[in-house]
Amino acid sequence: MVGLLILKRLESLSDESVVLQRKRNPYYQAFCGMKDFQQKLPCHSTELVHFRKRIGTQV
């Protein structure tokens, strides 16, 4: 989740876009700690909203 939030901020993407890019882009997957390429969505985009609320960030 933290990796997705970092990529979201660096690339100025929406929650939906960063989740989709994480599915499609092997570099995003490597950045997020995945060792093998996976073709499934890592999570639903609304989970990023809940995660941000839990960690108390204003991103």
pLDDT per position as a tens digit, 9-53: 999 999 999 999 999 999 999 999 999 999 999 999 999 999 988
3-class secondary-structure state, position 58: coil
Q: Say yes or no to pLDDT of 59 above 70.
A: no
- Answer positive or negative: Cα dihedral of 52, 54, 45, 27: positive
Between CA 26 and CA 48 the distance in angstroms is: 20
Q: Say yes or no to pLDDT of 56 above 90.
A: no
Q: Which of 8, 35, 34 is nearest to 21 (CA)?
A: 8
Q: Which amino acid is at 45?
A: S
Q: What is the largest CA-CA distance in the chain?
A: 31
- Assess contact for 15 and 22: CB atoms under 8 A: no
